[in-house]
Structure 1
Amino acid sequence: MKNPSKNQSSNARTGANAGRPEEVAALKGWRLRLYVVIFGSDTPAGKAFDVGLFVAIVLSVIVVMLESVAEIRERHHVALYRAEWAFTILFTIEYILRLMCVPRPLRYSRSFFGVVDLLAILPTYVNLLLSGTHYLMIIRVLRLLRVFRVFKLARYLSESQVLIRALRASRVKISVFLFSVVTLVMVIGATMYIVEGEASGFTSIPRSVYWAIVTLTTVGYGDVTPQSPLGQFLASIVMILGYGIIAVPTGIVSVELHEASRRRLPRAICQACGMKDHEADAHFCRQCGAPLELAGKG
């Protein structure tokens, strides 16, 4: 007969990162049961808890947003105030329960989600001393990252790791590119300051550099515009360059993303000669020409 305690700890381990497997397995009694409910997203109780938490977080964020609207705040101040404190007390109890059931409360409190959980409840209490800080409760929206696991987004984690590796691999190229862009906008800004001058709104080189950034990124606020024919001609060139500015980093990351994805493919091993150093998409051995089989097969 299987030990239910082991089954519970196994389910909890698959649903959380709030403790190492051996630490979770050491939990006993009510702490283990509470851990399974709060962190075990693969259990019925854990799923129900995540759904309830998701609804509570969304409603609390809506309350904060509604309270920032003057008309709604004046008309429903008492109801919003009570709802705000109700959610704060609810999340405070939840935070305390999390600390009570995790193997190492101090380590959890310093983790990303531990800090977010704390910041989600502090503004209401701080607002008792410093008015206006309760709007910081909008940070509760970050807690949705925790309950996204109920939608089985964990399966996309490996794909996100590929993207992260691609960004890391391209960081040098992107850094050089950004340095070139900074140099370019400074040159363009200084040139426009000389060509247009203060009469057209280019009152200083920093303001002209601001215009160059806005134009080069194709944002175009329109608060500063060139008036002279030469300035408009230069502005047209900058606008055209803007499309290239957007395309270059996209291309760099796309290439690295393709390489990172290709490296994830299982490497083929030649069963005839034992050659392993093949391209991921190779079908024949580059040394003896024999058909290849993927690693782990055959």
Structure 2
Amino acid sequence: MLKQQNTNWKTKLHEIIYEADTPTGKIFDVVLLITIIASIVLVMLESVNSIDSKYHDFLNISEWVITVLFSLEYIARIITVRKPFHYIFSFYGIIDLLSTIPKYISLIFGGVHALAALRALRLLRIFRILKLARYLGASNNLVSALKASRAKILVFLFAVVIIAIILGTIMYLVEGEENGFSNIPKSVYWCIVTLTTVGFGDIAPHTPLGQFIASLIMILGYGIIAVPTGIVSAEYTAQNKPQTPKKDDVHLNTQACPNCSVEKHKDNADFCYNCGYKLHNE
């Protein structure tokens, strides 16, 4: 009986923490996101000297309260799964740990607590709350398009680097040290930031020939920006061809397996598709 009670409270806590389909799970995730945002705001405010000097104690105590809450949540996530190392070394597990330890490390090394801004990565959990996982097919197509385009893009970037080196060397010869182009690496850097239309304010061509070359580089920059976009767009269009929906298509939910922590199970599934563990304890 005691073992069954112990299993029941762990099961209920697991549903609250790991699943966003239940009312309590939604409330937990919403409160968690609000707390994460509050903690990020606190870290940002503490970096402003005028605010920190007036409200340092309040900001520090508030950060510690949130850190303790995150620590309790991290421990709860570990004890409610049968295989805790699956969570600890998962993507979200590592993010949760990194967002918790900076405040503790700051007790030994000053200034490290600012790394608590890593908590912003925890906002990725909003995908679970809004059930956006069902609509990640488009992002998967984009990833596939980028992978399919990588060879073409790498060749293109290699050509851009060669162009930047050649034009940068030409600008060094045309303008010279007296106009700020003191060496070839600096001239190549100027050419790169000009190609990307960012601009390098410290130096600028002064001779008519240098200004003419700079104008060509700027115009070329707009074309260079458009080329990789066109490559990826073409691949994305190929990846994103409309597909006829199948009658047996099913929805996926946010239910997490208590044994291996895998998510995206089919609605009404009784067993985990990854490890075969029973999802519902009757």
Instruction: Bin the TM-score by the shorter chain.
Output: 0.7 to 0.9
What's the TM-score, normalizing by structure 2?
Answer: 0.83
Matched, 1:47 2:39: no
Q: In the TM superposition, what are the counterparts of 1:1-298 in structure 2 within 5 Å? A: 28-262=7-241, 264=243
Aligned residue in 2 for 1:11? none
Q: How far is 1:155 from its partner?
A: 2.5
Q: How far is 1:264 from its partner?
A: 4.7
Letter in 2 for 1:153: L
Please identify, of 64-73 and 143-152, the stretch whose mean Cα deviation from structure 2 is larger.
Answer: 143-152
Q: Please, what is the CA RMSD of the aligned residues? A: 1.5
The structure, 1 or 2, with the larger RCO (C-alpha pairs under 8 Å, 6+ apart) is 2
Check 1:265–1:255 CA distance in 2 against 1; reply closer, same or farther (3 A cut).
farther
Letter in 2 for 1:157: L
Letter in 2 for 1:215: T
Please identify, of 241-250 and 220-229, the stretch whose mean Cα deviation from structure 2 is larger.
Answer: 220-229
Aligned residue in 2 for 1:271? none
Structure 1 runs (4+) greater than 2 angstroms displaced: 263-267
- Deviations, residues 227-274 of structure 1 (Å, cap 9, x unaligned): 11111000000000001001000000000000001275579xxxxxxx
Q: Distance in 1 between matches of 2:234 and 2:197?
A: 24
What's the TM-score, normalizing by structure 1?
Answer: 0.78
Q: How far is 1:148 from its partner?
A: 3.4
Instruction: Note if contact 1:117-1:143 (Cα within 8 Å) is conserved in structure 2.
Output: yes
Please identify, of 113-122 and 217-226, the stretch whose mean Cα deviation from structure 2 is larger.
Answer: 217-226
Q: How far is 1:108 from its partner?
A: 1.1
Q: Compare CA radii of gyration and give the structure with the larger one.
A: 1
Instruction: Note if contact 1:162-1:257 (Cα within 8 Å) is conserved in structure 2.
Output: yes
Q: How far is 1:187 from its partner?
A: 0.8
The number of aligned residues is 241
SS at match of 2:145: helix
Q: Distance in 1 between matches of 2:32 and 2:126?
A: 7
Letter in 2 for 1:149: R
Structure 1 gaps of 5+ residues are 1-26, 268-298
How many percent identity over aligned positions?
53
